Amino acid sequence: AQKITQTQPGMFVQEKEAVTLDCTYDTSDQSYGLFWYKQPSSGEMIFLIYQGSYDEQNATEGRYSLNFQKARKSANLVISASQLGDSAMYFCAIGGTSYGKLTFGQGTILTVHP
Amino acid sequence: SQTIHQWPATLVQPVGSPLSLECTVEGTSNPNLYWYRQAAGRGLQLLFYSVGIGQISSEVPQNLSASRPQDRQFILSSKKLLLSDSGFYLCAWSDRAYGYTFGSGTRLTVV
């Protein structure tokens, strides 16, 4: 079984500052992937970034980076230079080898203040 | 390119009425297909997944069922809706590599 824990129900950040959203995971799979999705109020799920368990380098996608610490089983999302449009719910998810199913955390609501 | 279509976008149904939500995928063949439900302010819960035509696996016992009559079509159904079936339903596909593409979702309100 896989589990994702997001301990921050809500986070606030000032525009143009960086913010870290926490994610810890548990899995018995040797090979797995970690994902972050953004869900704005419209409800769509927007893929942000992916980290494979065997990737040695932390993933980066534009202003998004994933701070992957395998020994600590954490996969925190770092958003640099926050923008007002970043205000949304953010989900961390883990996918193992079982038919590609993803297990999601409960999410973190990020609010960016001007 | 691959696209996923999900409809309707919103639905208000009375308790005890039937349900049919449809999801179709374009630009890929033999995808894994998934139905998720999201309660208000919560994470996504996997309801069903399918690895091929006619192959359905259920993750949680519930009032819902799923079918895959064609390779790129996935349908979520209920014979009699309950109040607890209200939520945001998302269809997704995966090509057996890591990663999903989600549909735009259906907001179901059972009244």
Three-state SS string over A26-37 comes to ECCCCCCEEEEE
Q: What is the pLDDT averaged over residues B71-91? A: 95
Q: What is the pLDDT averaged over residues B40-58? A: 91
- How far off is chain B from A23, nearest CA to CA, in Å? 13
Count CA within 13 A, CB hemisphere, residue A62.
6
Per-residue model confidence (pLDDT) at position A25: 97
Q: What is the mean pLDDT of each run of 10 residues along chain A (114 residues)?
A: 94 98 94 94 92 93 97 97 97 81 94 97
Per-residue model confidence (pLDDT) at position A99: 64
Nearest to A13 by CA among A89, A82, A92: A82
CB contact under 8 A, A100 and B105: no
Touching A: B residues 5-64, CB under 8 Å: 32, 34, 41-44, 46, 49, 51, 57, 59
Cis peptide leading into residue B61 (ω within 30°): no
Query: Of the candidates A102, A105, A107, which has its C-beta nearest B100's C-beta?
Result: A102
Q: Got the DSSP string for A3-67?
A: EEE---SEEEEETTS-EEE--EEE-S-SS-EEEEEEE-TT---EEEEEEETT--SPPEETTEEEE
3-state secondary structure of A86: helix
Nearest to A77 by CA among A2, A12, A24, A32: A24
**Mean residue pLDDT across chain B:** 91
- How far off is chain A from B40, nearest CA to CA, in Å? 11
Q: How many CB atoms lie under 10 A from the CB of residue A39? A: 22
Per-residue model confidence (pLDDT) at position B96: 56
CB contact under 8 A, A106 and B100: no
Give the C-alpha distances (Å, rounded to integers) separating B73 from A49, B33, B92, B98.
27, 9, 11, 21
Per-residue model confidence (pLDDT) at position A97: 65
Is residue A25 within 8 A of residue A73, CB to CB? The reply is: yes
Phi, psi of A85 (to 5 degrees): -70, -10
All residues of chain A having their beta carbon less than 8 Å from the beta carbon of residue B99 are: 33, 35, 47, 50, 95
- How far off is chain A from B79, nearest CA to CA, in Å? 26
Is residue A79 within 8 A of residue A63, CB to CB? The reply is: yes
Residue B30: pLDDT band (50, 70, 90) is confident
* pLDDT of residue B107 exceeding 80: yes
